[in-house]
Copies of this chain bind each other. A is one copy, B any other.
Amino acid sequence: MDRGGSTSSHWHGPHPPGRPALPPSESSPSATPQAPVPRSRPLGPGLQILLGLVHFGFVVTYLSEPLVRGYTTAAAIHVVVSQLKYTFGISPARFSGPFSLIYTVLEVCYLLPQTNVGALVVSIVAIVGLILVKELNNYLSKKLPVPIPVELIAIVVATLISWQVNLEDKYGVDVVGLIPSGLQPPVLPTASLFGQVIGDAFALSVVGYGIAISLGRIFALKYGYKVDANQELIALGLSNSVGGIFQCFAISCSMSRTMVQESTGGKTQVAGALSAVVILFITLWIGTLFEDLPKAVLAAIIYVNLQGMMKQFRDIPALWRTSRVDMCVWVATFILTVLFNPDLGLAASIAFSLLTVIFRTQLPSYSLLGRVGDTDLYRPVEEYNQVKQVPGVVIFRSSATLYFANAEMYQDALAEKTGLDITSILSAKKKLEAKRKRQEKKEAKRARKDAKKDRELQGELELEKQKEIAVIKMREDLRDPSLPRAVILDLSPVNFLDTVGVKTIRNIRRDYGDIGIDVLLTGCQTGVVESLQSGGFFSGQVTKACLFSTNHDAVLHCLSERTDGSHTDSESEEEDMPATSF
């Protein structure tokens, strides 16, 4: 822990006194340290500039709020665990890679008997003291113009006590030790470390930027100016590049400190400049005075200031009530980040949150629509009482877009909802056709035989033949009236169609067309029609006449067609066959 540059976000643009439109999201007005954002080599900033130049800012759109909050909470857990060794005054082995947090906790538990009592006492006193003063701050927040600088007081007091009591020599309490005063000479980054840190550096760049840009947007909205995502990314990268050469912490911003600064009236870069001067003063001259500061106190400050992060656990019940899927994203992000560390964890979390989109569209609800009274509105039959299905017309809608991951379910759901076992109807039909063909052949044969033979068996054969015809006729009759005349697929929730989707609709049209049911499409967006076109859906037989703007138009078309008594080409051919064969 060489040195930390205190940074807070500042903004450009108009700065009228207008009342705050958004309440601060963290109740604690105290400053939180940079701890959750680990220190990076200049590789991270370099990455940020590069990413900014290639307009990588869009990646932040994948960092949804539940993900960022789950991620920062998990990062806080990582920070807490990394500080445990100072609190207990022990030296556990270092672990890296997946599950290193678990190993570290186990190692700390294993080493607990070797706890340095002095360090533990210092920790407990510091934590209790900090919490008490913080509560006092909260309690007096309206009366005090500025909160009590409790961390500063804690550091000064702890240093004084440590120096007077000589905690280090008497009780073996680990202290900060030599603090180089003055500015460090600029050092070029160690290129050999790039391979080791690239994962963390990438995660750090993206998350640090994500936090900065979302905070920036909150204030942009409040004060009515615009934030250019890529400009911010490049600016952040440049700052971090310069800072990295001087071995600074990576720069991001602190929600709570920004809120404090804004509420105390600091609205321009002057506030940032002032606080930078104070830090410079401490760095150059006063820093050396704190060599006796016990590390346990620093750890205590970190714990207490991570309270705000820990409060984010309250998101879980809140999200449980509002959106279960988003709760899953929060919890999964937290667990993945705790287990696989911030770098891999971020990648896995983003992948998971993208998968939720798939899951959400992959398991849609399917419904049959019916007409609302005498209006032209069509609503799901299951959900409304006054909704009635139009006789002879089935209107089917999926709540989600139709694409490869749910194309098969779409067909299954259609068959289930319509109650038409299309495969068995088709196979029955094919058997029937085969039977008819066989019979026609038989008849032809028989006709030839009959010409030769005498007519004594004629009566019996005729009887047999009539029986078979009766069976066929019965089946044909049985099939006809129960089947709907048309199936209307309401495609208004479809966002896009891939080749699998086009093929699915084509198959449905073909299969239902084969058993004499017309398939109409309604509510297609322009892009969907284009996909149907380029996917070869329309052909000589299938024209754009099967597309309708609204369900009502399609229903009117079906009803008018029925009263006319005219069928589509494909079915009239096949339906007329039995009639003519008699």
Contacts and interface: CB of A to CB of B under 8 A. Distances in A.
A427 B358 contact: no
Interface in A471-529: 492-496, 498-500, 502-503, 507, 511, 523, 525-527
A562 B228 CA distance: 37
B18 A496 contact: no
A360 B65 contact: no
A161 interface: no
A18 B429 CA distance: 10
Interface stretch (A40-48, A217-225, A299-307): A217-225
Nearest to A406: B61
Contact of A361 (B326, B431, B495, B549): B495
A76 B326 CA distance: 41
Bin chain A's interface residue count.
Answer: 35 or more
Contacts of A511: 221
B527 A427 contact: no
Number of copies: 2
Given A361-B495, A493-B493, A322 B18 contact: no
A526 B496 CA distance: 21
A539 interface: no
Interface string A344-374: 0000000101110110111011000000000
B403 A357 contact: yes
A321 interface: yes
A433 interface: yes
Main secondary structure of the interface of A (DSSP, over half): helix
B224 A427 contact: yes
Contacts of A531: 323
B526 A322 contact: no
Contacts of A357: 357-358, 361, 403, 405
A325 B498 contact: yes
A401 B62 contact: no
A261 B405 CA distance: 31
Contacts of A323: 498-499, 502, 531, 534-535
A212 to B, nearest CB: 15
Contact of A225 (B326, B423, B433): B423
Interface string A386-417: 00000000000001110111111100000000
A424 interface: yes
Nearest to A535: B322
Interface string A65-100: 110000000000000000000000000000000000
